[in-house]
Amino acid sequence: MPELTLAKSLNQAMRTAMAQDSRVLVLGEDVGRLGGVFRVTDGLQDEFGADRVVDTPLAESAIVGVAIGLALRGFRPVCEIQFDGFVYPAFDQIVSQLAKMRARSGGRVRLPVVIRIPAAGGIGAVEHHSESNEAYFAHTAGLRVVSCANPADAFRLLRAAIACDDPVVFYEPKRRYWDRGEVDLDAPLASLDRAMVLRKGSHCTLVAHGATVATALAAAAAAAEDGVSVGVVDLRTISPLDVDTVARCARESGRVVVVHEAATFFGLGAEIAAAVTERCFDDLRAPVARVGSYGLPYPPAKLEDEFVPDVDRVLLAVRSTLSSERSPA
């Protein structure tokens, strides 16, 4: 199997999908000649032409609006939004049109549109370039929300997203674009409904997605050096949320810590905490804890290390849950 960066695995996923299906198109700002701001679409226009890899004007609402029109005509467009904070001009197109068309048509019209969004922080960028806005779209019925964490999954998940008949908001952890790993180019498409247990633990379970999966794995490895067994679940899909897998791990360990880069206030961690508590209250030894960012606009680059959850903050939350003496019912 080839060893690819996460960015190259996404590139290969689009290349494979475009080679297999002439209806697959790529559109966005600078995706053609430049190959995208992170070079994720590098070389696709040379291989498939400017009619299938389209450089668009600087207008995110138009990018998604045109994609909706293309999908209505039978195409399977893949949009690139250059940075997470740039998606807001397209918010109305996504939540008011793209998400609702299937229900509005009584199930007769499906819109197979993928919206790729480089997400979260850690690259020293200025404001509007480091946001984690997955909760906005996960809250919107009619959308699938996917978040990849490693090169192998990025390839399988993006191919599955392109093949899906539902609209998919696809998050890519920009600070993991250069992480390398083996990628099975013949692997079957990933499920868009299932989380993955990356590490089992008997004392506590960490639940993460995207960029924070690597942080959670590092925290679990550090905890193991102190004799604490910590498991890690990679959500992979935020909507639908695989509560069954999270609940199973919660029952086994009795303690759960949710890790994400978005603000904890009204965030994904709150939904997971409620779902786990509803299903596993009698098995929990401690309240579900959350580690996220603060309820503030994303800070200047010099302060982002204080803003984004790191291994120390995750371990602090793990130690806090371990201090609980509540016995399961």
DSSP state of 249: H
Taking Cα atoms as reference points, which of 214, 79, 232, 238 lies closest to residue 147? 238
For the sheet with 230-234, list strands across it.
Answer: 196-199, 230-234, 204-208, 256-263, 289-293
Q: Which of 32, 55, 139, 31 is nearest to 91 (CA)?
A: 139
Any bridge partners for residue 234, and if so which? 196, 208
Q: Are strands 196-199 and 204-208 parallel, antiparallel or unpaired?
A: unpaired
Q: Which one from 129, 203, 209, 260 is the annotated catalytic residue?
A: 129
Q: Say if residues 255 and 322 touch (Cβ distance below 8 Å).
A: yes
Between 268-280 and 243-253, two packed helices, what is the crossing angle to 10 degrees? 60
**Is there a catalytic annotation at residue 128?**
no
Residues sharing a CB contact under 8 Å with residue 46, sequence separation 6 or more, in sequence order = none
Which residues are part of the catalytic machinery?
A: 129
